[in-house]
Amino acid sequence: MKRLLIWNLAILFLAVFALTAAQAGWDPDKEKDARETIAKLKQKAPKLNRFFQKAYGYAVFPTVAKGGIGIGAAYGSGVVYRKGKAIGTASLTQVTIGFQLGGQAYNEIIFFQNKRALDNFTDGNFELNAQASAVAITLGASADADYSNGVAIFTMAKGGLMYEASVGGQKFSYTPK
């Protein structure tokens, strides 16, 4: 019975995310939100400037909302850039399982070191699994961060509180501008 309840909750989370993702598309306000997020990230962590200057491209998710009780889910939408120019939108979905309780919102940015890494993302062949690690942006953080397999990931908390010891992964979808 408990296992059935867990699966039903997981299906519910996925259905909500699928409906939200279906509404994704180009919207000038998305780019405005992404640009504001970039400015905030550069201000909070100036050492990220080297990534912005040298990355072939990046995906900016101004708000990723995450919540869970045993099973967790997250969703966010953002803008994808190549050499500083917006080329499309992306959505992020995540499902996790394990000990977790609460909810939070955060910014996420994924830097692509080269054309191959960005093409992998825009072709729909990009997922982050449990082994991928993001650097949380705090004062002084990201000083030693570098690319792993052509990708560097950074997050910055916006609000909320979440206790978590879980596994899962992020899946992305891309829509050209």
- Higher pLDDT residue, 155 or 167? 155
* pLDDT, position 144: 60
Q: pTM for this one?
A: 0.79
Residue among 107, 130, 10, 131 at smallest CA distance from 59: 107
CA distances from 95 to 12, 37, 43, 107, 130 (A): 11, 24, 31, 17, 11
Considering only 25-39, 61-75, 157-171, which range has the smallest mean pLDDT? 157-171
What is the overall mean pLDDT for the chain?
79
Distance of alpha carbon 176 from alpha carbon 34, whole angstroms:
16
* pLDDT, position 114: 97
Residue among 68, 66, 69 at smallest CA distance from 159: 66
160 bridge partner residues: 104
Determine how β-strand 151-176 pairs with β-strand 85-112: antiparallel
Residue among 96, 163, 161, 175 at smallest CA distance from 128: 96
Q: Is 44 helix (H, G, I), strand (E, B) or coil?
A: helix
- Higher pLDDT residue, 6 or 144? 144
What is the pLDDT confidence band of residue 131, given thresholds at 50, 70 and 90? Answer: very low
